[in-house]
Amino acid sequence: MDTDIVTGILVSEQGALSLEEMVEACGTEVEWIVELVEVGVLSPEGPDETAWRFGALDLLRARRLARLERDFAASAEAAAVILDLLDEIERLRACLIRAGVEAV
Amino acid sequence: MEFKDYYQTLGVARSVAEAEIKRAYRKLARKYHPDVSKERDASERMKEINEAYEVLQDPKKRAAYDRLGTGWQPGQDFHPPPDWDTGFEFRGSPAGEAFGGDFSDFFATLFGGAVGARHGAGVHRRGEDHHAKILIDLEDAFRGATRTVTLRVPELDAKGRLAARERTLNVQIPKGIREGQLIRLAGQGSAGMKGGRAGDLYIEVGFKPHAFYRVDGRDLYVSLPVVPWEAALGATVKAPTPGGTVEVKVPPRSQGGRKLRLRSRGIPGDPPGDLYLVLEVVLPIPETERAKELYQTMARELAFNPRRSLGV
């Protein structure tokens, strides 16, 4: 058993991911990530592919999309719509939380 | 290890056609997919469903599984019969790997050999990245903390067969972490093949629900109960913050729902979040004659119609 305390870095402005790192983290292909950027599902910082920097939200979204595509045999477009709707639900839940209403 | 009844998991008879298995899987996926489901055990159930589907949708794996016979009960102690898989070659499907270690020992024993064969033929290859999620207490984000994470990681044993190993890591949670952030631990994913680098481990951080703080990014919200005279006349009252109790001024003429912002009392960071106290006016219940009199005095002397905006 490892007992050492491991320290990581936050995937954020300082520790953002390159295109290659995104591909590895999602276990996918470059083309798949590029397509998600082109259709606006992912929004990395940076002017072109070589300079793209992806944040934590991008990685969570990409992995979620991959699960939706795989488990529902959904097209990228359909999975993206599901993703947007899930985001909207989360946004509305956050509103309820701020308002002190428990989201059931 | 425990026997898994994959037909029971998908709720189909052993004799059904492939199309029916797919239908059953889709239906269950809609119900238990952790991204869309509200079921409490969705994530666990989906793992079982995915594993069952992985086997039953593949004619070769299904045939091999069927050869185990019908004499097994779910959960029964299971040891594979010798040479049970002779004549089968599992190929082309990333057995178990797609689940990132989330497969049962039963699955690994039956079908884990395939991955070894596939990888063995490969060359220099980077290890896979892994993903995990941990829930921390809000207080951990204020002070920083160390949390123990237990992971099941797929590994190849000496014979090149896939097996899941439990691994425990003590992870440093940095002060100021927010919900939905990812901690990346370099080299803590799968080992590389033939000299390839190890993969990384990404840990998603979530907060456990707090008894009274509600979290929105770096900002916190808490309902602060006040009595009518505190709201009406203004008062200095005590309020909780994660850093300790503070005194705040409730401005005169406040109504319920008014938000008082305590700058930089939210989750630490650059910039730090704010803490919002949401006033909640609480009425003392008139238990005594004296208390009733005080309410009656207000009723007589304060000409106030709270329903005027409703036109009544």
B174: CATH: 2.60.260.20
**Residue B69 Ramachandran class (φ > 0 left, ψ -120 to 50 alpha, else beta):** left
Contacts of B182 in chain A (CB under 8 A): 10-11, 56, 59-60
State which amino acid sits at residue B224.
L
**What residues contact B122, with CB distance under 8 A and at least 6 apart?**
B193, B194
DSSP code string of B164-184: EEEEEEEEEE-TT--TT-EEE
Instruction: Report H helices in A1-75.
Output: 19-26, 30-38, 56-72
| pLDDT classification of B80: cutoffs 50, 70, 90 | confident
Same domain, B159 and B182: yes
Peptide bond preceding B271: is omega within 30 degrees of 0, i.e. cis? Answer: yes
Nearest CA in chain A to B185: A8
Q: Does B230 touch chain A (CB under 8 A)?
A: no
Same domain, B8 and B111: yes
Domain of residue A28, residue span: 19-98
Would you say residue A53 lies in a domain?
yes
Compute the average pLDDT of residues B46-71.
87
B205 three-class SS: strand
Compute the average pLDDT of residues B56-84.
81
Same domain, B25 and B111: yes
Which one of B94, B121, B148 terminates a domain?
B121
Q: Which strands, in side-by-side order, build the sheet including B219-226?
A: B214-216, B219-226, B275-281, B259-262
| B:182-211 residues touching chain A, CB 8 A cutoff | 182-186, 188, 199-204
Give the residue from B56, B31, B132, B102 showing the smallest Cα distance to A72: B31
Nearest CA in chain A to B99: A67
| pLDDT classification of B205: cutoffs 50, 70, 90 | very high
Residues forming beta bridges with residue B183, ordered by sequence position: A10, B203
Which one of B89, B121, B153 terminates a domain?
B121
Contacts of B33 in chain A (CB under 8 A): 67-68, 71-72
Does an H or E element contain B281, and which?
Answer: strand B275-281
CA torsion A23-A43-A97-B260 (nearest 10°) is 130
Lookup: tokens for B141:
């984000």
Same domain, B106 and B152: no
Nearest CA in chain B to A71: B29
Number of domains in chain A: 1
Same domain, B222 and B291: yes
Distance CA B30, CA B221 (A): 34
Same domain, B130 and B78: no
Would you say residue A1 lies in a domain?
no
Distance CA B128, CA B108 (A): 18
Same domain, B170 and B239: no
Same domain, B151 and B231: no
Give the residue from B250, B244, B247 showing the smallest Cα distance to B227: B250
Compute the average pLDDT of residues B283-297.
95
Residue B2, pLDDT score: 84
State which amino acid sits at residue B258.
R
Peptide bond preceding B82: is omega within 30 degrees of 0, i.e. cis? Answer: no
Number of domains in chain B: 3
Say what the pTM is. 0.76
A65: CATH: 1.10.1660.10
Residue pLDDT, tens place only, B142-187: 999 999 888 877 676 776 666 777 888 999 999 999 998 999 999 9
Residue B106 has pLDDT above 70, yes or no: yes
Distance CA B238, CA B195 (A): 61
Distance CA B45, CA B31 (A): 10
The distance of Cα A34 from the centroid of its chain, to the nearest Å, equals 13
Domain of residue B102, residue span: 1-121
Share of chain B above pLDDT 90, in %: 49
Contacts of B221 in chain A (CB under 8 A): 97-98, 100
- Yes or no, beta carbons of A4 and B170 under 8 Å apart: yes
Nearest CA in chain B to A104: B38
Would you say residue A9 lies in a domain?
no
- Yes or no, beta carbons of B184 and A10 under 8 Å apart: yes
Would you say residue A103 lies in a domain?
no
Same domain, B189 and B304: no
Lookup: tokens for B252:
């005169």
Residues forming beta bridges with residue B171, ordered by sequence position: A6, B147
- Yes or no, beta carbons of B170 and A94 under 8 Å apart: no
B50 CB-contact burial (10 Å; exposed 0-12 / middle 13-18 / buried 19+): buried
Same domain, B160 and B45: no
Would you say residue A12 lies in a domain?
no
Distance CA A56, CA A16 (A): 8
Same domain, B116 and B179: no
Compute the average pLDDT of residues B199-223.
92
**Over its length of 104 residues, how does chain A's per-residue pLDDT go in tens digits?**
546 788 888 998 677 999 999 999 998 899 999 999 998 899 999 989 999 999 999 999 999 999 899 888 888 889 999 999 998 998 898 888 777 776 55
